[in-house]
Amino acid sequence: MERVLGTPALFATAYGNVGSSIYYALGLTAFYALGLTPLVFVAAGIVFAATAATYAEGTARFPEAGGSASFARHAFDEVVSFVAGWSQMLVYVVTVAVSAFFVPHYLSIFWEPLRTNPWDTVGGAIVIVVLVTLNIVGVQEAAKLSISLAVVDFATQVLLVIVGFALVFSPEVLVENVRWGVAPTWSNLAIAIPVAMLAYTGVETVSNLAEEVRDPVRTVPAAYKLVAGAVFAIYFTLPLVALSALPVETIDGELTTLLALPPEDGGYANDPILGVVQNLGLEGLTLDFAEIYVGILAATILFIATNAGVIGASRITYSMASYRQLPERLRTLHPRFKTPWLALILFAGIAPILLLIPGDVNFIGTLYSLGATLSFTVAHAAVVRLRMLDRDESEVVFRAHPNVRVRGVSWPLFAIGGGIATGASFLVLVVQNATTRWVGLGWMVVGLVAYAIYRRRFVRARVREVVKAPPAFGPELALEYRRILVPIVAGKSSDEALDLACRLAAERGSRIVAVTVIEMPLDRPLADEVPELERLANRELDQAMAVADSYGVPIVGRLERARAAGPAIVAEAEARQAEIIVLGSQRSALTGRQRAVFGKTVDYVLKNARCRTMVVASGAA
């Protein structure tokens, strides 16, 4: 669904995915960290803050879907991009598996067998099959509903923290929970930090939504700051309440907590937030209401998070196939529904079901962390590399902090520190967990071998070369003008170009991207505030959106900053994979002294755009 997202909407949409992980990450982390779970979440939160800064800078610079794979393509080459994209694929597959697996556990308040195997596995598999089917048919989730649920979810988590601090919070219990080197052991503590990365499932969400925001230079960094702050606040406080309500104790001769035990042993590893609610000291109708409310909310949020994983898996598959990293067949659209059905079935359907069969949530959690830490490490390395390549700060639209300048390079301390932390976490998982090591590294090796064979035998191109796939045939050809880019400026010519684009889109069921470019002087940084120009640009975009709405045509408004409008329009068309650019002509006559036929911007687009370009003549032109 293409829509204009501001900072609040982008934050809410992202938190709906990132915040959903509390419903399973708490139990999985407590399995390894025990009494140190709150401290482990704080450590993981610091790493997440560095990772969020890296993604904010990379996404503001390259506002396109792909996240770390996109950053790596610009900073390194296609091999590194494939590694990042393939590890993202693993993350999405596991996200689908783990989110779907926990849905029936929270619904067990209505039917107790859903808490135990095999019914939890069957329930999770049904959730996946339903969502894959809905995505193949092309049913869209309601954006406003998702945002509303995210807000309600955050408010509920804050309320749980407040009630928990009032009823059960105990510093003495928290201190007694810690047995250094014993519970947890040092090896389990080392694993616990990367496993706690589960808390930040969905960090790629903001990056993948970057194409749907109006001004990514400001909106994306602001959204990342809000998401990081909100998630860190919850993970800093809720584990304190959880370990106060469900402390570390000796159970069957072993130091553990009910948060870490499976339901068959009387624990809450598979529904930790319900476990917290049931041990807050609530009674009677209040407890019954709280259980039903949290159970339904958690199941709904996890259902949406599973759907986000399904969409993410299909999106990254389609993107990788478009860059000839995967077979083009995987971007084939369904003849009737015009959705990437093969990608949905292969990566969002079969693989998660196979992962769910054992029902081993600890294995699923560590496998997620392996893919995530590898993807994050590539993202950090890419931002460091981009800083080394581009030393002219005036051309960088956004820089995260802190930085230190040495030998002409503004080194990003957040990316360097974050990369070291995520890289070390990746190595810990590889060294200490044999099953995760062989499955995760096996996934990466199989992918790289298949990539090399496909590139050399079928694409006949070097593995490091960027190769865009040619226009697709079959059902995709009917969507030739599915994405139309219209540059917006003040004046009649632009209005007539938009009017024609709307009529074209209405006939073919297409979408329009309206882009207006603020041309920044060479002596000013691109990210500088220019309130008057921004006000005029946003007014033009609002008028364009009103026109498109009158035609019933979906439209996205984008505000770009550049030194010249022509290159910005071409870059936006490339990032959007637009099939056609529709521009208005302001030139009514041509004289011998004129070097440009239609004007500098229009002529530049005609010469450099890789897609078709339509020039609309106004009036007597």
Q: Return the bridge partners of 513, or none.
A: 485, 556
pLDDT attached to residue 1: 34
258 lies in some domain: yes
Q: Is the pLDDT of residue 204 over 80?
A: no
Q: Which distant-in-sequence residues (6+ apart) come within 8 Å of 388 by Cβ?
A: 409
460 lies in some domain: no
468 lies in some domain: no
Closest CA to 343 of 132, 511, 98, 189: 132
Q: Is the pLDDT of residue 479 over 50?
A: no
Q: Is the pLDDT of residue 65 over 80?
A: no
Closest CA to 359 of 551, 122, 68, 57: 122
pLDDT attached to residue 36: 92
Measured in residues, the chain has a length of 621
Q: What is the mean pLDDT of residues 397-410?
A: 86
Using only C-alpha atoms, the chain has a radius of gyration, in whole angstroms, of 25
Q: Which distant-in-sequence residues (6+ apart) come within 8 Å of 606 by Cβ?
A: 598, 613, 615
pLDDT attached to residue 66: 76
Based on the domain organization, do 514 and 568 belong to the same domain?
Answer: yes
Based on the domain organization, do 433 and 495 belong to the same domain?
Answer: no
Average pLDDT, rounded, for the chain: 83
pLDDT attached to residue 354: 59
461 lies in some domain: no
pLDDT attached to residue 478: 46
Q: Is the pLDDT of residue 287 over 50?
A: yes
Q: Is the pLDDT of residue 14 over 90?
A: no
Please spell the DSSP secondary structure of 172-185, one letter per residue.
Answer: HHHHHT-BTTTBS-
What's the CA gap between 532 and 520, in Å, rounded? 13
Based on the domain organization, do 332 and 414 belong to the same domain?
Answer: yes
Based on the domain organization, do 112 and 38 belong to the same domain?
Answer: yes
Q: What is the mean pLDDT of residues 235-250?
A: 91
Q: Which helix or strand (DSSP H or E) is residue 168 part of?
A: none
Closest CA to 320 of 84, 111, 493, 99: 84
Q: What is the mean pLDDT of residues 48-63?
A: 86
pLDDT attached to residue 212: 62
List pLDDT tens digits, range 517-542: 999 888 888 888 888 888 899 899 99
433 lies in some domain: yes
pLDDT attached to residue 131: 84
Based on the domain organization, do 55 and 134 belong to the same domain?
Answer: yes
What's the CA gap between 439 and 447, in Å, rounded? 12
List pLDDT tens digits, range 316-351: 887 788 888 998 888 777 767 667 788 888 776 666
Burial 43-76 (b: 16+ CB within 10 A, else e): bbbebbbbbbbbbbbbbbbbbbbbbbbbbbbbbb
- Structural domain including 602 reads 480-617
Rounded alpha-carbon distances, angstroms, from residue 69 to 72, 84, 86, 431:
5, 5, 9, 25
Burial 350-369 (b: 16+ CB within 10 A, else e): ebbbebbeebebbbbbbbbb
Q: Is the pLDDT of residue 463 over 70?
A: yes
Q: What is the CATH number of the domain that holds 500?
A: 3.40.50.620
Based on the domain organization, do 504 and 442 belong to the same domain?
Answer: no
Rounded alpha-carbon distances, angstroms, from residue 360 to 209, 364, 367:
32, 6, 11
466 pLDDT band (50/70/90 cuts)?
confident
Q: Return the bridge partners of 519, or none.
A: 562
Helix 68-75 crosses helix 361-389 at what angle (to 10 degrees)?
A: 30
235 lies in some domain: yes
pLDDT attached to residue 161: 93
Q: Is the pLDDT of residue 293 over 50?
A: yes
Q: What is the mean pLDDT of residues 576-596?
A: 70
194 lies in some domain: yes
Q: What is the mean pLDDT of residues 489-498?
A: 87
221 pLDDT band (50/70/90 cuts)?
confident
Based on the domain organization, do 305 and 393 belong to the same domain?
Answer: yes
Q: Which distant-in-sequence residues (6+ apart) come within 8 Å of 528 by Cβ?
A: 520
Highest mean pLDDT among 15-19, 147-151, 166-170: 166-170
Q: Is the pLDDT of residue 286 over 80?
A: yes
Based on the domain organization, do 64 and 203 belong to the same domain?
Answer: yes
Q: What is the mean pLDDT of residues 392-417?
A: 84
What's the CA gap between 33 and 21, in Å, rounded? 17
**pTM here?**
0.75
Q: Is the pLDDT of residue 3 over 70?
A: no
Q: Is the pLDDT of residue 406 over 60?
A: yes
Q: DSSP E strands: which ranges in 206-328? A: 249-251, 254-256
Q: Is the pLDDT of residue 200 over 80?
A: no
Based on the domain organization, do 438 and 484 belong to the same domain?
Answer: no
Total domain count for the chain?
2
Asked if 165 contacts 21 with a C-beta cutoff of 8 angstroms, the reply is no
What's the CA gap between 503 and 459, in Å, rounded? 38
pLDDT attached to residue 421: 93
Q: What is the CATH number of the domain that holds 378?
A: 1.20.1740.10
Based on the domain organization, do 158 and 97 belong to the same domain?
Answer: yes
Based on the domain organization, do 500 and 604 belong to the same domain?
Answer: yes
Asked if 14 contacts 210 with a C-beta cutoff of 8 angstroms, the reply is no
Q: What is the mean pLDDT of residues 430-445?
A: 90
Based on the domain organization, do 533 and 408 belong to the same domain?
Answer: no
List pLDDT tens digits, range 84-143: 999 988 888 888 888 888 899 899 989 988 888 788 888 888 888 888 888 787 665 555
Residue ending a domain, among 428, 450, 472, is 450
459 lies in some domain: no
Asked if 78 contacts 459 with a C-beta cutoff of 8 angstroms, the reply is no
* Range with the poorest average pLDDT among 10-19, 49-58, 93-102, 223-232: 10-19
